[in-house]
């Protein structure tokens, strides 16, 4: 279920913005990126099998282990990664990895191009700012 306040992305495709957070190892506060596309949906922080936390996977990159539930991507539930494009080279998390959902946030988010030309998923709108 989406909240009605998520109506219009702040940054259109092609806009240059800066990150105000770390997404190690590629992105640190102040890293300049170019918006590829805005998206509206749920971003999920997940716990990997080794206990590390990875953010973010879009809900459409995860297949719930309990697909019969009315809300299958809730904290504590499990999901399988079905797409790892843009999550590092090589990907930080392989397709087929079973992860535990830590938190899902309805938000506007973006896929971006780094200054070195590398494609990256995802940065939430609240993690980005216009350069000053």
Please tell me the predicted confidence (pLDDT) of residue 72. Answer: 82
Report the predicted TM-score, pTM, of the whole model to 2 decimal places. Answer: 0.87
Q: In a 10 Å sphere around its CB, with 0-12 CB exposed, 13-18 middle and 19+ buried, how is residue 92 labelled?
A: middle
Question: Which residues, 6+ apart, have CB-to-CB distance to 24 below 8 Å?
Answer: none
Helix/strand/coil for 59 = helix
Give CA–CA dist 132/126, Å, rounded. Answer: 16
- Rg, the chain, Cα only: 15
Cα separations in angstroms, 87 against 3, 61, 69 = 26, 11, 27
Q: What is the per-residue pLDDT for 1?
A: 46
pLDDT value, residue 50: 96
Average pLDDT for runs of 10 along the chain of length 132: 68 98 91 97 96 94 84 91 87 93 96 94 96 90
Report the C-alpha gap between 106 and 41 in whole angstroms. 5
């Amino acid at each position: 279920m989406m909240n009605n306040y998520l109506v219009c992305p702040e940054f259109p495709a092609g806009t240059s913005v800066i990150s105000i957070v770390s997404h190690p190892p590629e992105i640190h506060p102040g890293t300049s990126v170019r918006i590829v596309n805005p998206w509206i949906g749920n971003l999920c922080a997940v716990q990997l099998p080794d206990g590390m936390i990875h953010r973010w996977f879009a809900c459409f990159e995860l297949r719930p282990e309990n697909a019969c539930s009315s809300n299958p991507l809730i904290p504590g539930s499990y999901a399988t990664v079905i797409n790892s494009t843009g999550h590092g080279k090589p990907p930080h998390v392989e397709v087929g990895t079973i992860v535990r959902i830590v938190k899902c946030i309805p938000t506007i988010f973006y896929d971006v191009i780094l200054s070195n030309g590398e494609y990256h998923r995802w940065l939430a709108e609240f993690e980005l700012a216009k350069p000053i």
